[in-house]
Amino acid sequence: MVSSLLFFTRFLAFLGVLLSLNLYAQPGTANNPIRVEAESGQLSGVEVASAVAGFSGTGYVTGFDNPTDALNLSFTAPAGLYELTIGYRSPFGEKGIDFQINTEKAGGMLRPSTTFARFDGGKFLLMGGPVSLTIFRGWGYFDIDYILLTPTTVKRPVPPATARLTDPNASPVTVGLYQFLLSQYGNKVISGQQDDVEYVLEKTGKEPAIGAFDLIDYSPTRVQNGARPLRTSEACLAWARKGDGRGIISLMWHWNAPTDLINQPPDKLWWRGFYTEATTFDLAATLADPAGPRYALLLRDIDAIAEQLKKFQAANVPVLWRPLHEASGGWFWWGAKGADPFRQLWQLLYNRLTNFHNLHNLIWVYTGTDAFNTDWYPGDAYVDVVGLDIYAPADATLSTNWEAALAQFSGKKLVALSESGHLPRPDAIRGFATWWSWFAVWTGADYIKKQPDDLLKAVFTDADVLTRDELPDWRTPTQPLLTGLEPTWSVSVAGNPVADSLVNLDIQGAEGQLLHLTVFDSRGRLLTEKIVTPRTPTIRYALPLGSDEPGLYLIRIISSTTASTLKIIKS
């Protein structure tokens, strides 16, 4: 960990360079990009190859398969802010890459590509003179063609063009919170903390604006084994409502598997049942059998968490709701079977909580470990905010992660630092324009309690970091209610209740738009999924329910930018 004194000394120099370069007005002092071919570097355990066509120069570097393998490139560069591009090939799927420019470490994820492609590595400030860029093994099994450093500037992010929540029935206080998040985006960063909110207050005299807590111990298989919440829902509510009642709540859920816990020492005990290694619960098989007992247990668990979330709704407290986090890593069971089952589970959870349990106090936060892996993204109609969980070195600027998120979601969703291993540095936020909507450092002795006291005070007293005492009354919407993605088209049921297993939908104003139609029963089971593209301004479409049983059904209609939900009764 870089000492606080050393860190601030570096940033004084950093700010001096920023001012001398006037980065907001011109692209540094270098006129041309700096390109270095990989084969010209110093090779450690790797080799130059030319077997695969499409590379630049005389070859590319391959053989990143041992922990000590590395490629070092040495060159000189004028002082300035640069955008890093790495030419690469990743024929064996998505791969993590780690690299270092001078003393600054960074990393990211390489998209699968059997041909040579470009990876955007983020922004880096160079002081002028010799530069050392090292690419480490990371996950390995990729090829490196070249690196490119292009003079660049920084700019503040802009709020999403569609400033509406996905839930068309979101409560006014929930809309008020979302509008507050939008109003601060790109101007201030909202402070948060996972669990240890009291510790931050003790050390800094300031309280995080966002208290982030976990519903882990409300998972039925933990309750069955005698678990008791360290901080109950009632205690979370008390924290939010104390004083002026402006504290913001974020809730996650380390979902202990509904069944099939291994429960064997040392690392597969019942309380670790959210980890893939501690359960044999098969999500894909469960979703494929909606009439089966494991599917019923899946719904039981969701319903148990719904009862906790209803306490917040009854108290008129909105929730930054971030379930099913870090799925693409595979270390949690909800991501162990791949992207398709995960997306199905997310949409099932969304529909069960929103449309079945009528929870309208949730702002849905999708959190991953990388931004550009869209295979795992549940879809715009099911996500309000995108969060990144980043555990990088203490002095990392996080520019690489931020730039990847902006490239994927700019203009669509707010981007937050939903989990981190270290406090983000305000000077880095300003210098690299990494204006996260909010941040939350992970709990415990290895994370928030390991941060130097002077750094804690510096971050939580910074003018660009909002703490609880600086929050306005966000509970009342400042604009007319923008409740939901209000469609330009309309869909209605021709006759409700319906007696047939086919439902006639009258669709108007959707000519040429792709509509995704899904049907769920009252248990949250996905019964039907259809894609419709109307060719005329008005059509009637016969949608099969997928069931002959009488009861309540939910029809979700989603276009590229809007969504709507219909409730029907089958007699």
pLDDT of the residue at 236: 98
**Among 320, 327, 425, which residue's Cα sits nearest to residue 2?**
425
Burial class (CB in 10 A: 0-12, 13-18, 19+), 303: middle
Ordered strands of the 104-110 beta sheet: 42-44, 70-77, 129-136, 95-101, 104-110
H helix or E strand, kind and range, residue 308: helix 293-314
Region of 447 please: left (phi>0), alpha (psi -120 to 50) or beta.
Answer: alpha
Who wins on pLDDT, 145 or 12?
145
Position 16 pLDDT exceeds 60 = no
Position 354 pLDDT exceeds 70 = yes
Check: CB of residue 246 under 8 Å from CB of residue 261: no
Render pLDDT for 252-298 as a digit per residue (tens, 0 to 9).
Answer: 999 999 999 999 999 999 999 999 999 999 999 999 998 999 999 99
Q: How many CB atoms lie within 10 A of CB 76?
A: 10
Position 324 pLDDT exceeds 70 = yes
Query: Which pair of structure tokens corresponds to residue 128?
Result: 């002028």
Who wins on pLDDT, 503 or 411?
503
Check: CB of residue 269 under 8 Å from CB of residue 263: yes
Average pLDDT value for residue range 359-385: 88
Domain architecture of the chain: domains with CATH: 4-151 (2.60.120.260), 172-470 (3.20.20.80), 490-570 (2.60.40.2550)
Whether 470 sits among the annotated catalytic residues: the reply is: no
pLDDT of the residue at 153: 86
H helix or E strand, kind and range, residue 10: helix 4-21
Position 421 pLDDT exceeds 50 = yes
Average pLDDT value for residue range 376-389: 92
Q: How many CB atoms lie within 10 A of CB 380?
A: 20
**Among 94, 93, 181, which residue's Cα sits nearest to residue 387?**
181
How far separated are the first and last CA of the chain, in Å rounded? 65
Find the catalytic residue in 94, 419, 470, 486: 419
- Helix, strand, or coil here: 495? coil
Average pLDDT value for residue range 385-396: 91
Compute CA distances 350 → 306, 309, 320, 323, 343, whole Å: 11, 13, 14, 10, 10
Query: Which pair of structure tokens corresponds to residue 166?
Result: 């996905």
Check: CB of residue 204 under 8 Å from CB of residue 460: yes
Average pLDDT value for residue range 204-219: 98
Position 14 pLDDT exceeds 50 = no
Average pLDDT value for residue range 452-456: 96
Whether 403 sits among the annotated catalytic residues: the reply is: no
- Helix, strand, or coil here: 67? coil
Alpha carbon dihedral 522, 523, 526, 528, in 10-degree steps, equals: -40
d(CA 426, CA 95): 30
Pair type for strands 515-521 and 526-532: antiparallel
Find the catalytic residue in 307, 326, 511, 529: 326
Q: What is the three-state SS of 388-412? A: EEECCCCCCCCHHHHHHHHHHHCCC
Average pLDDT value for residue range 183-197: 96
Position 2 pLDDT exceeds 60 = no
Render pLDDT for 67-111 as a digit per residue (tens, 0 to 9).
Answer: 999 999 999 999 989 999 999 999 999 899 999 999 888 888 899
pLDDT of the residue at 5: 40
Position 555 pLDDT exceeds 80 = yes
Provide the whole-model pTM: 0.79
Least confident interval from 58-62, 77-81, 247-251, 295-299: 77-81
Average pLDDT value for residue range 417-441: 95
Percent of residues, the chain, with pLDDT higher than 90: 67
Pair type for strands 248-253 and 210-214: parallel
pLDDT of the residue at 477: 81
pLDDT of the residue at 531: 80
Percent of residues, the chain, with pLDDT higher than 70: 91
Position 233 pLDDT exceeds 50 = yes
pLDDT of the residue at 31: 59
d(CA 337, CA 332): 10
Query: Which pair of structure tokens corresponds to residue 479?
Result: 């604009």
Band of the pLDDT at 483, cuts 50, 70, 90?
very low
d(CA 317, CA 309): 10
**Among 321, 412, 327, which residue's Cα sits nearest to residue 369?**
327
Render pLDDT for 17-51 as a digit per residue (tens, 0 to 9).
Answer: 443 333 332 333 445 899 999 999 999 999 999 99
Band of the pLDDT at 487, cuts 50, 70, 90?
low
- Helix, strand, or coil here: 167? coil
φ, ψ dihedrals at 467, nearest 5°: -105, 175
φ, ψ dihedrals at 273, nearest 5°: -70, -5
pLDDT of the residue at 393: 87
* Mean per-residue pLDDT over the chain, rounded: 89
